[in-house]
Structure 1
């Protein structure tokens, strides 16, 4: 049996009470992604964004994980759309450029992918 600290026990015992809270849904989406349940994570993250009143950069992490989930579940047009929306808020986000570039590559659009892949390498050191 695993021993949990009192704080961990408190978190575990309150999980069901918080399941509708945005932060708890965010944590659940991260768990789904880690378990490679990309489609399920994408659904949860889309709902989280739809329910959000934020219109700015505060949801960058949510948008980025959504784009990654869409990419890994081969929903390439969705990955491009979400990553491009993220780039409208933060044009220097290297991973978003990488996702757009890789998605375009997988669609056979190597010429369109190159600028994004170069920016991903320059801004974030991603080797492409």
Structure 2
């Protein structure tokens, strides 16, 4: 393991979570994703690190990774409306508007945002 990887994986889960949030808040999305990747793998039962990882992937234009993480989240937590929305946005950014529409409509319905008849 090189020194950089050791930095990203060093500390308790709580310390790494705090570090990842600092990176994310500073719009340093790729480093945030590096910290969150191992943290999410260690705690797959926790939604927050996985959702922040998907967001970090999205904002750092790692769209296929964001898509994979979001699909995994929705397998486990199908009523997570923000994951539905972010998956729709991720698919849009990949030029897959027709597929994105399904997730965007689900997210809107979950949020109670129904088009007027």
Aligned residue pair count: 105
Question: Aligned to 1:100, which of 87, 91, 95?
Answer: 87
CA–CA distance in 2 between the matches of 1:63 and 1:108? Answer: 24
**Which runs of 5 or more residues in structure 1 are unaligned?**
1-18
How big is the alpha-carbon RMSD for the aligned residues of Structure 1 and Structure 2? 1.7
Aligned counterpart, 2:60: 73
Q: Is the 8 A contact 1:95 1:124 kept in 2?
A: no
Give the TM-score, by structure 1 length. Answer: 0.77
The runs of at least 4 aligned residues of structure 1 exceeding 2 Å deviation read: 124-127
**Structure 2 residues not aligned, in runs of 5+:** 1-9
Give the distance between the partners of 2:16 and 2:82, measured in 1 at CA: 23
The counterpart of 2:96, out of the listed 106, 109, 112, is 109
Change (3 A) 1:126 1:82: farther
Bigger Cα Rg: 1
CA distance, structure 1, for counterparts of residue 84 and residue 25 of structure 2: 22
Match of residue 71, structure 2, among 41, 61, 84 = 84
Q: Deviations over 1:40-71 (max 9, x none)?
A: 00000001123x1x443xx1000000000000
